[in-house]
Structure 1
Amino acid sequence: MKSVFIVSAVAALAAAAPLEKRTPPNIPTTSSANTLLAGLTVKAQGSQDGYSRDLFPHWITQSGTCNTRETVLKRDGTNVVTDSACASTSGTWKSPYDGATWTAASDVDIDHVVPLSNAWKSGASAWTTAQRQAFANDLTNPQLAAVTDNVNQAKGDSGPEEWKPPLTSYYCTYAKMWIKVKSVYKLTITSAEKTALTSMMGTC
């Protein structure tokens, strides 16, 4: 009886606080990420010519009135309340990049872990609009994360060779996410990018 109670209590706690859901999905293990990194094609970055964010239709409707941004806000936040238009009216968001906590959705950006322009220069320029839309709204892979807005703006379209999360304790997870996304979409990496990712994986 006691073991049943413990199992029930654990299940209740898991249901009340699904912490594993407050993070991007499908982050690989360290060994898997290292294997994926070794399999990425290293080549010089392509041209920015022709790039526009409009070529990556983002924040599309996901369910009902909820678009991709609102869906990620609900996924990554705690006690998120939304109105009839799916806008977050309250909740708490802890930004994994810098550890800051916010209670207003307006203080939170949804970061494309692999920036759209970086993707363009590493293979996405050859994609169809439908493929770019899928990339920009990917809820299956660790490509979208709710983070502090000005930290996201500081990152811009930089790769890990130029920008890393302020929290060094997040280097490992960030590198795993970046590697997974690049691998899933068969995007290339530069030699400097690989060096940075290898260094970050060394913190795992």
Structure 2
Amino acid sequence: MDASGMKKEVSLEFLYLGGNFITAIPPELAKLPSLRYLVLCDNKIQSIPPQLAQLHSLRSLSLHNNLLTYLPREILNLVHLDELSLRGNPLVVRFVRDLTYNPPSLQELAGRTVKTRNIPYTPSDLPESLVRYLSLASNCPNPKCGGVYFDSCVRQIKFVDFCGKYRLPLMHYLCSPECSSPFSSASQSSTSQSESDSEDEASVAAHRMQKVLLG
């Protein structure tokens, strides 16, 4: 591709990929910084790559009539997104309940102890690989937990309130199964759900996601 072709690709603002039997969204789409309208409707897409959160100019995302059961938490980083079409996806009527959890390794348990108890160490005390490993700790999103995780975490669907009208299922990761009680049924009260929402996600600004099309 010549220089002019690369410039056109980078400056692309509208991309229509609807009705193409696409099963996976290529993460390379994240390399289109000027993209404002992305249409992926009427495909066979089962998940959204978190790299799409790098499309900071995106204003409209059409995902209706696919096979989505959840959305990645990273979609909250699309600060200019004001239209999200999700109708015709399984996530509208159900969500994932049976998700697996692999017990942490001895290395992870030791790393969690170092991080949660703030055990002091200097880079010269440990092999470089362990120092790098400790730097990769992720904080558990449960505000009542305060724990961390590395490779072993609990994948769980959580409904997040958007503008007080829509509750969208987002994937989030907990450090252990004890961090949150499992979803009991669809009849779970909104009060209980609200209590389980982490502070950063429950307070999505009212001007965000004004047009979430579910039906």
TM over 0.5, yes or no? Answer: no
Rg larger for: 2
- Please identify which structure carries the higher helix content: 1
The TM-score range, normalised by the shorter chain, is: under 0.3
- TM-score relative to the length of structure 2: 0.26
- TM-score relative to the length of structure 1: 0.27
Flag the structure with more relative contact order, 1 or 2, with Cα contacts below 8 A and sequence separation at least 6.
1
